[in-house]
């Protein structure tokens, strides 16, 4: 019975030694994403150029809100865009705050069209 804790300690030590990372790779993994907060009915150029949509956080969802995402550069993200649609999110009644994970690449930029006053945060790289 007394050998088991010693054995686990040795295995943990060996695993930690095998998986060492250089300081450069650790710092590269800790790069923060960017975010844009949208709280009005608007067409918003979230990211002007190509990138990755990480997630959308809806902190104050409004029933009936529609959030449409387009793969458009900021110059094309005006009025009511209709080209290169990537997602349509329609909120129903009785919603609580929630996150939507995307991890989706956008070749041109990230454009969001919101129809109401939900408070949402678009997180991207």
Residue 13 belongs to some domain of the structure? no
Which one is predicted more confidently, 17 or 73? Answer: 73
Tell me the pLDDT tens digit for each residue of 35-86. 999 999 999 999 999 999 999 999 988 889 999 999 999 999 999 999 999 9
Q: Show the DSSP H helices in the chain as ranges.
A: 3-18, 23-29
Q: Scanning the structure block, which residue is given the tokens 């300690």?
A: 9
**CA R_g for the chain:** 21
Residue 50 belongs to some domain of the structure? yes
Residue 87 belongs to some domain of the structure? yes
Percent of the chain with pLDDT over 90: 63
pLDDT classification of 94: cutoffs 50, 70, 90: confident
Residue 44 belongs to some domain of the structure? yes
Residue 76 belongs to some domain of the structure? yes
Q: Which residues pair with 50 in a beta bridge?
A: none
Q: Please count the structural domains in the chain.
A: 1
CATH number, domain containing residue 106: 2.60.120
Residue 27 belongs to some domain of the structure? no
Residue 18 belongs to some domain of the structure? no
Mean pLDDT of the chain: 82
Mean pLDDT for the stretch of residues 92-121:
93
Res. 20: pLDDT tops 50 = no
Give the structural domain span for 55: 33-124
Residue 20 belongs to some domain of the structure? no
The H or E element that residue 34 is part of is: strand 34-38
Question: Which pTM was predicted?
Answer: 0.74
User: HSE-up of 21 (CA within 13 Å, CB side)?
Assistant: 7
The rounded Cα 42 to chain-centroid distance in angstroms is 19
């Amino acid at each position: 019975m007394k050998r088991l804790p010693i054995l686990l300690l040795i295995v943990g030590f060996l695993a930690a030694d095998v998986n060492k990372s250089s300081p450069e790779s650790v710092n590269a993994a800790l790069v923060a994403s960017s975010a844009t907060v949208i709280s009005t009915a608007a067409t918003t150029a979230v990211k002007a150029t190509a990138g990755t949509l990480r997630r959308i956080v809806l902190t104050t969802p409004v029933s009936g809100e529609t959030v449409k995402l387009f793969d458009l550069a900021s110059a094309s993200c005006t009025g009511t865009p209709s080209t290169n649609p990537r997602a349509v999110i329609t909120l129903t009644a009785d919603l609580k705050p929630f996150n939507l994970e995307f991890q989706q690449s956008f070749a041109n930029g990230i454009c969001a069209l919101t129809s109401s006053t939900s408070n949402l945060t678009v997180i991207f790289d």
